[in-house]
Structure 1
């Protein structure tokens, strides 16, 4: 999965979802990699945190190589729910990375471990609560407003985190690759002096829009074969 993502980015995947009509489930703004430049992509291994690391250990027992642990801690900012030992155990279980709707701690140790971890920040304090568990917790979680489960794939990089249904993955990656190729070609032409306005026949677009106010730039890009917005 990460190999397929290597030449892509979360903006390209998001644009591909828009183009294909796939619901775009983007994590709330603010998710950042503990190690700058880290990237991860893989099947979602969902877990809901209740105040104890036992939920992580249970999840690791079900992990497949390359899974990404997605932790629902409700976006809490009063506790860090994952630290160095949980991350070390994740690596030992073959987990490719961790994405947390919440906070982490043990930042220097996580940097040394090097496993991609995305969270909303660091806090010294771990959980001091222990909540009752719901029976469906291992099957699905929430990440911001979005339901996420084992039937999803997660992508994370410097631009953020998003989720794609596994059964649409192949077509989303194919579309993202096509958009990437078009954008790279456009960027090369701009560098050579061929402006984006000329490439996209922008004057023609303005003329058509004047005649037909319902004509959108997105429609125009699709007609001329450009890729900017999606």
Structure 2
């Protein structure tokens, strides 16, 4: 699935919907560290991963952008360093001119005011005025994979980011995840609408039935009960 199609498919799906769908499909849930946040609220980004590992020079970003496709998201691996900012306004402008969907950084950014004006979705661990003061040697994985906390992503992955964080999904499971995430979203919206109209979730979930069954079956879980009745609030 190409990045532009991903954007259409995942436009109205949140990272919690997607995480729940991955769990049900036995797809490993790969989330970025919670310290990585969007630069502004109500951000939503979707795209194939364009991986790059930072070694101290901006040329690796330009090379990654050169090899990217419209709609991709630049995934910058700076090892979670907090002693330097590795992405600023010029890199963001270059990515925007290449029609990338956004930038995610396992590390820090700078030029915050300019980045807010550019308005390209950006996720990072925070801001720091100081740029890199080093120049390390590139490696064979520089443009092949990017780490982000405990997880590693490649161009065979895509990511979704919003106010709850970032999640990575295999491209070849994009359709499966979207289908189930959509069903979960619709169920939860229906449940929330009924609650606003006065029907408690306990009533919708037939909680009394669950308690009764659990008395007879000690290993009977609420998750199992919800699945049996079509609930989706818990995974």
Quote how far apart the aligned CAs of 1:21 are: 0.8
User: Equivalent residue of 1:13, what SS?
Assistant: helix
Shift of 1:193: 1.1
SS of equivalent residue, structure 2 residue 214: helix
TM-score (norm 2): 0.96
After superposition, the C-alpha distances for 1:23-55 in whole angstroms (9 at most, x for unaligned) are 100111121111222210000000000011110
1:62 to 67, 79, 88: 67
Take 1:31 and 1:201, find their aligned partners in 2: how far apart are those partners? 38
How many equivalent pairs are there? Answer: 230
- Equivalent of 2:53, from 43, 48, 59? 48
Q: Which residue of 2 aligns with 1:3?
A: 8
Equivalence map 1:155-194=2 (5 Å): 155-194=160-199
**Secondary structure of 1:70 counterpart:** strand
Residue segments in structure 2 that go unaligned for 5+ positions in a row: 1-5
Following the alignment from structure 2 to structure 1, what is the Cα–Cα distance between the partners of residues 58 and 16?
33
- TM-score where L is the length of structure 1: 0.98
**1:151-196 deviations in Å (ceiling 9; x for gaps):** 0010000000010000011000000000011001101111111110
Offset of residue 148 of structure 1: 0.6
1:110 corresponds in structure 2 to 115
Aligned ranges 1:13-32 → 2 under 5 Å: 13-32=18-37
Superposed CA RMSD: 0.8
Confirm or deny: 8 A CA contact 1:67 1:96 kept in the other structure: yes
Rounded Cα–Cα distance in structure 1 between residues aligned with 2:223 and 2:168:
24
